[in-house]
């Protein structure tokens, strides 16, 4: 992931840019750990570490084995892994999550959040999404889900200990009460939820009670955070989690989006993870201003390692930032068949197909460039910018021909083509903002082309980025840029990803 930059007493929000929604956080000593939803991508549930809440480093993926994560080929995009909750209790890390469309709610444990994580414990008695875990003083484990309802569980066996019961479900008339998190803070149990839907009406509300099962009294200032009906640069704010720093200060992580272009605004990176300060006033949380340039915390910032721009595929395995669609069989994806190259063997015949062999990374900057050196002599494949099976652009090489392809809903077309010299060819994509002016202007432009050995980039086609946005495609994910094979065997020597917007 990209390392946020401190400047002039502020830190850049989002703290984890790109498609990293539904953040859940916990602190152990001086270390913070955070997880996000991953939907149809494998491996699932990226795990991040920080020492200052600002600089985050991905240390793994919790669900990195097929036995932990089943994503069937017929499962639609934006299904799969929803809304994990990460907690630390009794010397162990606990992760509870929903696999929509397959396994339902599951619970995993680890002694090290970098992994390995356990095999899943199934929770057949827990119905609903967005599960949360909390333990009371006598060790009872409470599981609360979207809706909002709650049931006691045995976290070791997965058994429900009683019948679910309804809790406070937010503002009367507000849609989609979800993302519950339950905390013991001082004399009260606090129930934090999202409501209003995960689009422009999203918000965060809270209630409190004397016991973990209520009754709950709503905060008179609800919602405690929302950007609905504002012109704020950050929209869709919600799905929050609270954490207390070692100095006693409180912070909130939450999801939001950054729409661009004319009306109605298009967000293309998906829902990202933001950070906001919290103060407690009269027993209720007051969330500070959430801005792209947020005042830095009072403690010293501790920048983590900056991920390399280039991946040469010299290691036996792939870095945890790389994700694939639904599965990643070793027989179809390997760095060992040709030394120093990533080799992909085709299954699905195009990026339209749910079983296309694809290895990508999240687009994390509003303006960026990606390059890859591909050897297509044994097959057909290339470089794609993907939102889902029905919304993607790609540049594809086969023999001595390169083609730019576009899929938007039911329409699929070849946009441009060119002849190239025999042998490996460097394919590239450059994503830049659209010039402002026309209120119908889209968020960005996506140029596909080839790069000469001297670094000169020749664009073959320039495409409108709005069609690879959530506002057009729907769903819950963001853009992923990566390599794919559509026929035969395709080798990739390296992959570069470079932010262009600082």
List, for residues 274-295, the tens digit of each pLDDT value. 999 999 999 999 999 888 887 7
What is the C-alpha to C-alpha distance for residues 118 and 109, in angstroms, rounded to an integer?
Answer: 5
What is the C-alpha to C-alpha distance for residues 204 and 225, in angstroms, rounded to an integer?
Answer: 5
Is 451 annotated as catalytic? no
What share of residues in the chain are helix, strand, coil (percent, to 5)? 0, 50, 50
The enclosing H or E element of 179 equals: strand 178-185
Residue 295 confidence (pLDDT) = 76
Does residue 466 sit in helix, strand or coil? Answer: helix
Domains and CATH numbers, the chain: 6-295 (2.115.10.20), 310-499 (2.60.120.200)
Query: What tokens were used for 441?
Result: 């202007």
Is 112 annotated as catalytic? no
Strand partners, 499: 368
Residue 4 confidence (pLDDT) = 38
Checking if the pLDDT of 440 tops 90, the result is: no
Query: Residue 22 carries which DSSP code?
Result: S
Does residue 437 sit in helix, strand or coil? Answer: coil
Q: 91 Cβ partners below 8 Å, 6+ apart? A: 111
Q: Name the band, by pLDDT with cuts 50, 70 and 90, for residue 9.
A: low
Residue with tokens 């570490």: 49
Contact 348, 358 (CB under 8 A): no
List, for residues 104-121, the tens digit of each pLDDT value. 999 999 999 999 999 999
List, for residues 328-385, the tens digit of each pLDDT value. 999 999 999 999 999 999 999 999 999 999 999 999 999 999 999 999 999 999 999 9
What is the C-alpha to C-alpha distance for residues 360 and 420, in angstroms, rounded to an integer?
Answer: 24
**DSSP output for 30-88:** TEEEEE---BTEESEEEEEEESSSSS-EEEEEEE-STTT----TTSPTT-EEEEEEEEE
Catalytic residue selected from 130, 178, 388, 444: 178
Given its phi and psi angles, is residue 473 left (phi above 0), alpha (psi -120 to 50 degrees) or beta? Answer: alpha
Checking if the pLDDT of 401 tops 90, the result is: yes
Query: What tokens were used for 361?
Result: 């990374």
Higher pLDDT, 434 or 89: 89
For the question of whether the overall pTM of this predicted structure is more than 0.75, the answer is yes
Sign of CA pseudo-dihedral 248, 253, 259, 265? negative
Residue 11 confidence (pLDDT) = 75
Residue 496 confidence (pLDDT) = 96
């Amino acid at each position: 992931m990209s390392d946020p930059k401190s400047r002039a007493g502020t830190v850049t929000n989002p703290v984890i840019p790109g498609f990293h929604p539904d953040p859940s956080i916990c602190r152990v000593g001086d270390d913070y750990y955070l997880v996000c939803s991953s939907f149809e991508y494998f491996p699932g549930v990226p795990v991040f570490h920080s020492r200052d809440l600002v600089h985050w480093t991905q240390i793994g993926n919790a669900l990195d084995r097929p036995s932990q994560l089943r994503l069937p080929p017929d499962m639609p995009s934006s299904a799969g892994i929803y809304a994990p909750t990460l907690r630390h209790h009794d010397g162990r890390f606990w992760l509870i999550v929903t696999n929509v469309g397959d396994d339902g709610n599951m619970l995993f444990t680890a002694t090290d959040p970098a992994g390995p994580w356990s095999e899943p414990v199934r929770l057949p008695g827990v119905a609903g999404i967005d599960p949360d875990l909390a333990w009371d003083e006598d060790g009872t484990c409470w599981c609360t889900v979207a809706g909002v309802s709650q049931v006691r569980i045995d976290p070791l066996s997965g058994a429900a200990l009683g019948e679910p019961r309804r809790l406070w479900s937010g503002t009367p008339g507000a849609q989609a009460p979800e993302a519950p998190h339950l905390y013991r803070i001082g004399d009260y149990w606090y129930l934090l939820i999202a409501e209003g839907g995960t689009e422009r009406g999203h918000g965060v509300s809270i209630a409190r009670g004397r016991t973990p099962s209520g009754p709950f009294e709503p905060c008179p200032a609800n919602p405690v955070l929302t950007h609905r009906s504002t012109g704020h640069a950050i929209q869709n704010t919600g799905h929050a989690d609270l954490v207390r720093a070692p100095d006693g200060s409180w912070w909130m992580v939450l999801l939001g989006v950054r729409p661009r272009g004319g009306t109605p605004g298009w967000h293309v990176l998906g829902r990202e993870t933001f950070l906001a300060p919290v103060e407690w006033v009269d027993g209720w949380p007051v969330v500070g201003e959430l801005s792209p340039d947020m005042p830095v915390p009072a403690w010293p910032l501790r920048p983590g390692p900056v991920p390399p721009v280039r991946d040469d595929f010299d290691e036996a395995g792939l870095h945890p930032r790389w994700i694939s669609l639904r599965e990643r069989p070793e027989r179809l994806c390997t760095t060992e068949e040709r030394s120093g190259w990533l080799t992909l063997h085709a299954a699905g015949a195009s990026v339209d197909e749910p079983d296309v062999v694809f290895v990508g990374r999240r687009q994390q900057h509003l303006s960026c460039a990606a390059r890859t050196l591909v050897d297509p002599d044994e097959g057909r494949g290339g470089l794609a910018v993907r939102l889902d099976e029905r919304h993607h652009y790609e540049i594809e090489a086969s023999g001595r021909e390169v083609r730019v392809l576009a899929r938007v809903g039911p329409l699929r077309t070849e946009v441009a083509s060119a002849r190239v010299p025999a042998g490996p060819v460097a394919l590239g994509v450059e994503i830049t903002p659209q010039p402002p002016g026309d209120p119908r202007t889209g968020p960005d432009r996506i140029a596909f082309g080839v790069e000469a050995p001297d670094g000169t980039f020749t664009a073959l086609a320039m495409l409108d980025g709005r069609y690879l946005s959530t506002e057009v495609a729907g769903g819950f994910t963001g853009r992923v840029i990566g390599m794919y094979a559509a026929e035969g065997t395709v080798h990739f020597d390296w992959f570069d990803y470079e932010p262009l917007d600082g």
